[in-house]
Chain A
Amino acid sequence: MNSISLIGMASVITAGLAIAVGAIGPAIGEGRAVASALSSIAQQPDEKNTITRTLFVGLAMIESTAIYCFVVSMILLFANPFWDYVISAAK
């Protein structure tokens, strides 16, 4: 197997794995965050605004990890330096 096919195969498989595994953790975390926010709103409906705002900020922080994995996956697919190198070396 020459290096072009090896690099192409590794990039595509890793891109898929990165986003597949990287989306599990944040999804579980966000589910738990929303569940506890809902139960606190049910206990104290007056504080709904503060709770909702804190919930959104917390969700954004949790989402960041999934975004990092997504960005790595996109780089592997669209802006892959190893792929560009072997393609330019093969010309």
Chain B
Amino acid sequence: MNFMDIKQISPDQVVFFQYHFISLNLTIVFTWAVMALLVIGSWLVTRRLSTAPKISYWQNILEILVTGIQDQISEISRQKAKRYMPFIGSLFIFIATCNLLTVVPGYESPTASLSTTAALAICVFISVPLFGIAQKGVIGYLKQYVQPTVFMLPFNIMGELSRTLALAVRLFGNLMSASKIVAILLAIIPFIFPVIMQLLGLLTGLIQAYIFAVLAMVYIASATQVQEHTEAQKK
């Protein structure tokens, strides 16, 4: 049961229902499915949390995941991880679940569409000034665009825009190429090679989820951190 034809490049092109300019396409349906899976799964696991020495299997898994993300965030940002955890944790868990579910036949990852990855990259682009201004105030945040000299202003702005674009295109390119290669190999040599390429696609999907979250954290950290660095140097 396959929703996408081999000639179609993006799940946006499979449209179930169209009303004027509002269309219900495959990307949206699978995004809702992943969201439902994550929300219902988390609600079921956190219904009865316990601090006793023996905790349930699922709570253990969630604790490992959450503390792992917390450690990574505090290592990268050198600050308390609590204020960045919801955003970065959601990014990582959503993208990882989207990518890992490609083992299910008939499923097409919503991150294989440029719309989803562009939306996630725009979220990161907006969050960087939000966290920076919350940490350092408007003047303190805007001052770093003219570091080290005011001639760097256009380059800093271009750098911000290009790294947002790179975030979106990197995730889209990796996921779309993985599913395309498996589809093409299934048409040519359906025996063992599609399985090997699917394994590689799963591995790169997980790595790309990690890289997306880590890069988002690095960008946020660079916007909220410069102050402490120069203060430490002055001492």
Q: Is A35 an interface residue (CB 8 A)?
A: no
Query: Binding site of A, secondary structure by majority: helix, strand, loop or mixed?
Result: helix
Asked if residues A60 and B215 are in contact (CB atoms below 8 Å), the reply is: yes
Asked if residues B9 and A63 are in contact (CB atoms below 8 Å), the reply is: no
Q: Which of B39-47, B167-175, B187-195 contacts A (4 or more CB under 8 A)?
A: B167-175
**Contacts A56-B210, A57-B218, A64-B166; is A70 near B173 (CB within 8 Å)?**
yes
Chain A residue nearest to B210 in the complex (CB): A56
**For chain A, which range describes its interface: under 10, 10 to 19, 20 to 34, or 35 or more residues?**
10 to 19
Asked if residues B177 and A70 are in contact (CB atoms below 8 Å), the reply is: yes
Query: Binding site of B, secondary structure by majority: helix, strand, loop or mixed?
Result: helix
- A67: which of B9, B72, B174 is its contact (CB, 8 Å)? B174
- A54-80: CB near B (< 8 Å → 1, else 0) gives 001100110110011011001100110
Q: Is B180 an interface residue (CB 8 A)?
A: yes
Number of interface residues of B (CB under 8 A): 21
Q: Is B7 an interface residue (CB 8 A)?
A: yes
Asked if residues B218 and A67 are in contact (CB atoms below 8 Å), the reply is: no
Q: Is A91 an interface residue (CB 8 A)?
A: no
**Contacts A70-B177, A78-B7, A78-B9; is A57 near B169 (CB within 8 Å)?**
no
Q: Which residues of B contact A75 (CB under 8 A)?
A: 9
- Which residues of B are interface residues toward A (Cβ below 8 A)? 7-9, 72, 75, 166, 169-170, 172-174, 176-177, 180, 207-208, 210-211, 214-215, 218
- Which residues of A are interface residues toward B (Cβ below 8 A)? 50, 53, 56-57, 60-61, 63-64, 67-68, 70-71, 74-75, 78-79
